Amino acid sequence: MGRALRGLPYRWYARRLSARLRAAGPGALPRHVAVAMDGNRRWARQAGYADPTIGHRFGAEHVDELLTWCAAIGIGHVTVYVASSDNLRKRSSDEVGHLMRMVEEVVATRLASPSHRWRLHVAGRLDELPDSTRDALKLAVSSTAGRSEGLELTVAIGYDGRQEIVDAVRSYLDDGGSADDLTPDDIARHLYTRGQPAPDLVIRTSGEQRLSGFLIWQAAHAELYFCDAYWPGFRQVDFLRALRTYARRKAAGMVDA
C-alpha cells in the first residue's frame, strides 16, 4: 500500500504532462522519434547487479514500454539504436552474445507475437550479426509486414551512419545512376531506412551528448534531446519531458518544419 501511494504523484504528473501535450495538438508532437538506448551496463552496476550485462535484458524489455508510450500519445514512427557495428567489433564476445540473445528472445519474439501492433523494419548490415539473430529479425519483419495500424518500428543493429551513406551511394551506382547526377534525394532513396520519414526528435539516454553515428543523414534537421537517465531507468515522465521540450521549441519556431 505504501509503495502504491508513493507512486501516485508520479502517475499524476505523467497523466498531467500527457494531457497537456495532447491538448497542444498533433502538430506540436514529433511524427518520428529515434532513441539511442544507452547505459544498460551502467544502470545494472548502479542497481547492484554483479553481472552488468544483465542490463541488456532490462534494456530490451524496456523497448515495449517505449512503444506503448508512443502509441498512446499518437507517435507512429520509432527507431531504436540497439547496437552499432563498432559495438559488435569492440565489445567482448560474451557480451555481444548476450545482447544478441536478448534481441532474439525479447525484441524479435515479442514483436512477432500476433498480439503486437507494430510493424518491424531493420536498419544495418545484417551480415554482421550471428545467423540466429539475423534469422529471428527476418522472421519478425516477415510476420509483421501485414500490419496496417500505421505503427512502424525500425531497429538499428549492426549499424553505422557513415557506412550507410557509403552503401547508399554504391547502391545508387549499382542501379545505374550517374555520379554526375547524384542528388541528396538519390541517397535518401538508397538508405537502409528508405521509405520511412526522417526523425523529428532524437533522444539519447545516459548523459552522453553525441550521436555516435546514429542516423547522421536522416537526423540532419532533427531536434536533439539528451537525458541523464540510463536507458532501463528512462521513465515515461522523462519521455514526456523530451516531448514537451520539442513542443516548446517548435512553438517558438526553433524546430525545422
pLDDT at 95 over 50: yes
The rounded distance, in Å, linking the Cα atoms of 233 and 238 is: 9
Bridge partner list, 81: 36, 156
Annotated catalytic, 256? Answer: no
CA nearest 139: which of 110, 117, 108? 108
Which position among 40, 87, 160, 200 bears the catalytic label?
A: 87
Annotated catalytic, 38? Answer: yes
DSSP state letters, 68-84: HHHHHHT--EEEEEEEE
Q: Tell me the average pLDDT across 92-105.
A: 94
Any idea of the CA torsion for 116, 107, 190, 126, to the nearest 10 degrees? -140
pLDDT at 7 over 90: no
DSSP state letters, 55-112: HHHHHHHHHHHHHHHHHHHT--EEEEEEEEHHHHHHS-HHHHHHHHHHIIIIIIHHHH
Q: Kindly state the percentage of the chain with pLDDT values over 90.
A: 87
Q: Which amino acid is at 215?
A: L
What local confidence, expressed as pLDDT, does residue 1 receive?
46
Which position among 38, 40, 160, 200 bears the catalytic label?
A: 38
